[in-house]
Amino acid sequence: MAKPLALTSGEPAGIGPDITIEAWQRRNELKLPPFYLVGDRDSVGKRAEVLGLKVKLADVRPEEAAAAFADALPVVATGQAATARPGQPDDSSAAAALASIRQAVADVAAGRASAVVTNPIAKSVLYRAGFRHPGHTEFLAELATSGGRTPQPVMMLWSPTLAVVPVTIHLSLREAIAQLSSELIVTTARIAVADLKARFGLTHPRLAVSGLNPHAGEDGSLGLEDQTIVAPAVEILRGEGIEVRGPLPADTMFHEAARKTYDCAICMYHDQALIPIKTIAFEHAVNVTLGLPFIRTSPDHGTAFDIAGSGRANPSSLIAALRLAARMAAARPA
């Protein structure tokens, strides 16, 4: 039997419990891979009551989750209670969310689970509790540190119709431009290519690299960064045998015909990458962290406090994240 996926609880006051319960309820209809929730059983049970749903929960060890999955939603306890009510994070929220992430990563590292799938966290809640990372991605990299070496994580947003990788992520636009370098573009693209080969089954990944400025700088008249930073990076990658084009005008990279010419778009900053994929595939896009020694996927949305516990949360992105994690785990080299 395949190892189950470890699903984190996310922010207990958000929609993570809602979409987890609904995904499990649709497990047979959608033929979902077995997963277990890492969190507080009482909290999940109370959310099911709020939603008016009868859900059988099973306290299990990770090794027992796959066998229990058909009859009950498996829950692996962290020992950290979550008392927050829907839409109202409290003092237990940050500790519960972080304990869930830590344990899920530990389970995968120990071979008890095949991949980590993370429910959304509320960074503002974590920051108030002293969390010092910009987000999930950077925290996962710290957890993956081994021998004093921390891997460089790369964020990919993936859907069946478009995959994008932003070179700079959670930075102001001014700071993103200041930090952009040929070296950073090359390193990011190398990591993307390695995982596209190893975990997505692409023998020869094709990359499209966006320009930074409108019209990719218009031969320098709209800024020199595309000539001095982006173009040299593309040449380095091409010299390594990677199939890559760019810098390309970002405003013409994402229409249907253009998307057929590449497997992944490497973009210079957060919104340049995320606006097109959230426009094209908002309900089915998956956040994937590349460059880690384990697989991590996540829904491409936030905690949605305003609809938590209402029954209106859409589980589509979580379902896509579960399916993609299982696919990547199956493709992973032995």
Question: Are 300 and 171 found together in one domain?
Answer: no
Q: What percent of the chain has pLDDT over 70?
A: 99
**What is the number of structural domains in the chain?**
2
Residue type, 127: Y
Question: Are 305 and 186 found together in one domain?
Answer: no
Determine contact, residues 245/238, Cβ cutoff 8 Å.
no
Residue 334 is predicted with a pLDDT of: 42
What is the C-alpha separation between 42 and 58, in angstroms, rounded? 11
Determine contact, residues 243/207, Cβ cutoff 8 Å.
yes
Question: Are 199 and 243 found together in one domain?
Answer: yes
Question: Are 253 and 283 found together in one domain?
Answer: yes
- Evaluate if residue 195 carries a pLDDT over 60: yes
Residues 6+ apart with CB under 8 A from 228: none
In the chain, alpha helices (H): 16-25, 27-30, 41-51, 62-68, 93-109, 123-128, 136-143, 173-179, 182-200, 225, 231-239, 256-259, 270-281, 316-331
What would the pLDDT profile of 74-93 be if each residue is shown by its tens digit? Answer: 999 999 999 999 999 999 99
Question: Are 144 and 255 found together in one domain?
Answer: no
Residue 74: which domain range?
1-151+292-334
Question: Are 100 and 178 found together in one domain?
Answer: no
Question: Are 308 and 251 found together in one domain?
Answer: no
168-172, 249-253, 301-305 — which is least confidently predicted?
A: 168-172
Question: Are 134 and 196 found together in one domain?
Answer: no
Question: Are 317 and 273 found together in one domain?
Answer: no
> Cβ atoms within 10 A of the Cβ of 54, count?
8
**Interval 48-54 mean pLDDT:** 95
> Looking at residue 234, which CATH number applies to its domain?
3.40.718.10
**Interval 148-162 mean pLDDT:** 92
Question: Are 266 and 321 found together in one domain?
Answer: no
Question: Are 3 and 147 found together in one domain?
Answer: yes
